[in-house]
Amino acid sequence: MKFLGYYKDQLKSELLKFKNGNNIAIERWLEIISKTDIVNHKKIDYIIRALGSRETTPSLSPLDKVGIYLESKLEAKYIPKILSKKITPQLKFLGKYDRKRAIKNSYSCIEKLNIKENSSFLIIDDVITTGATGNEIARALIEAYGNNIKIFHFALVYTPLSQEYQYQEQQYNQKFYKKLIAS
């Protein structure tokens, strides 16, 4: 699991701008992504995105711009319409165990691709909180394509627990925010 910053402080408002489709915010995030090692990861065959909280099938999302951008950089295929999801309860205030239980078996692959053996998938998401969504998408991919696939997870931000967000993480986030705004 790789992420760029923490869903705290000023970065939280910048991510909300991204999620709301603010073009300046989207361009800033794409600029930051362009400077990360994720764009050099040449072992990715397919890119998919997590579905939003109210999506059951993919609709136009700011994450699609990230997927399209990464598709061009990684020479991978972005396949936004591969997943479907059952409506789940609001996950926002649930802990790790309850999130995992609430999302269990909610994702499925609706498009069966003819993929080569040992293919790799990159799941992109805006926020990782507990990892339950990524794990659920991984389960759906393995169910559809078998255990021989490789799965990577990339998100813009991670929501840390209070004890995980100490001085060092705060300093990192402040520096990252300044780089993001300068982009």
Rounded to two decimals, the pTM is 0.91
The CATH T-level fold of domain 2-182 is Rossmann fold (3.40.50)
Q: pLDDT at residue 51 above 70?
A: yes
Confidence band for 92, pLDDT divided at 50, 70 and 90: low
| Separation of alpha carbons 46 and 105, rounded Å | 22
| Alpha carbon distance 140, 84 (integer Å) | 10
The pLDDT, as a whole number, for residue 90 is 67
